[in-house]
Structure 1
Amino acid sequence: MNAQEWQTPTIDGYGKIKYFDDTAELPDTSLTYKMIFNIDSEKEKEGVNAGLWKIARTLNLLKAGNVANEKIDIVAILHGEATYAILSHEEYKKQFKTQNPNMELLKLLKENGVTVFVCGQAMASRKIKKEDMNAYTEMALSALTVLPHYQLKGYALIP
């Protein structure tokens, strides 16, 4: 097995992968990868939200598998305890005494075509206002409407 070093070919610094040139299964470059990520935990991986990290890893894997950018359509919905990841640096610092560690990753995801929504209901229950959000996320009515909406449009649910 010819394994290379850990790398991040698309999302620099996040979602490390190892590429193997002799695997039995690789991404099908003829398919369009439509995925909806359901992120509701504050769990972290390598200093950022683990769900956002998983999106970075997915993009890195698809790129390593030679899937063209136009064949990747990824959407995420943040809710529950993951809601705080959408805060601006200023608002995050007010609540957690540090800058939002997810900001750079959110910026890279947006630059690579990922749409990140946050549940408006989760924001309301945490008293987060729309102006408290960072520039890389969008508010949706609810995770309970976003998830079926995208699944009914043929997106694979990634829990």
Structure 2
Amino acid sequence: MKIKTYLLLIIIPLGYLNAQGWETPIIDGYGEVKYFEKAEIKPNSSVDYKLLFDIKNETEKSGINKGLWVIARTLNMLSLGKVPSRNIKIVASIHGDASFLTLNNEAYQKKFGKPNPNLDVIDKLRANGVNLFVCSQATASRNIDYESINKKVTPALSGLNVLATYQLEGYVYMPY
């Protein structure tokens, strides 16, 4: 019996030492990540990460648009990999049904009867240098006027133009 007790006293703390919790080091509250020291492929702190996210649908993850959640996770993961912020450039082309996520709170409330759940993560992404563009073709076809768009989101002539322009500038296409 004593041996079992001693083993438990040794094993339980070791389990806590090895346990890594989910973290949100950069975008607090969004895009949780778990670091694995033994992972073979990890972020390279000497690489410039130029990423172009294509956000075109309304799919949600943890109460916000999944594309925004994935961008938050990407920033958090790169942070855990010790990639300096100067080496991270992220752009999002928001179009199609995802265009509604760009509404300011008043317009979103009017359309959907509830506050825009994406505003907080948009603020945090912008504060960390993420450029968010919304397609003017998509907003026009959905009767969204410029005054209804969140001021942290920049209208672009088209989402396709954003995708083409940034890929020609060396950004890696990330579909979401």
TM-score range, shorter chain: over 0.9
2:86 aligned with 1:103: no
Structure 2 residue identity aligned to 1:29 = S
Show the counterpart of 2:14. Answer: none
Question: Considering only CA atoms, is the larger Rg found in Structure 1 or Structure 2?
Answer: 2
Show the counterpart of 1:46. Answer: 62
2:165 aligned with 1:149: yes
Show the counterpart of 1:36. Answer: 52
SS at match of 1:21: coil
- Is the 1:3–1:18 Cα contact (8 Å) retained in structure 2? no
Please list every run of 5 or more consecutive structure 1 residues that lacks an aligned counterpart in the other structure.
Answer: none
- The structure carrying a bigger helix percent of its residues is 2
Cα shift at 1:21: 1.3
Report how many residues are paired: 159
Q: State how far apart, in whole Å, the 2-side matches of 1:48 and 1:3 are.
A: 28
Question: Given the alignment, which residue of 141, 158, 162 partners 1:125?
Answer: 141
Structure-2-length-normalised TM-score: 0.88
- Runs of 4+ in structure 1 off by over 3 angstroms are none
Structure 2 residue identity aligned to 1:63 = S
Please list every run of 5 or more consecutive structure 2 residues that lacks an aligned counterpart in the other structure.
Answer: 1-17
Instruction: Give the aligned CA root-mean-square deviation in angstroms.
Output: 1.1
Q: State how far apart, in whole Å, the 1-side matches of 2:117 and 2:127 are.
A: 17
Map Cα deviations across residues 104-151 of structure 1 (whole Å, 9 max, x no partner). 000000000000000000000001111101121000000111101000
Q: State how far apart, in whole Å, the 2-side matches of 1:3 and 1:35 are.
A: 30
Show the counterpart of 1:20. Answer: 36
SS at match of 1:24: coil
Question: Given the alignment, which residue of 107, 115, 136 partners 1:91?
Answer: 107
Cα shift at 1:3: 4.4
SS at match of 1:74: strand
Structure 1 residue identity aligned to 2:87 = K
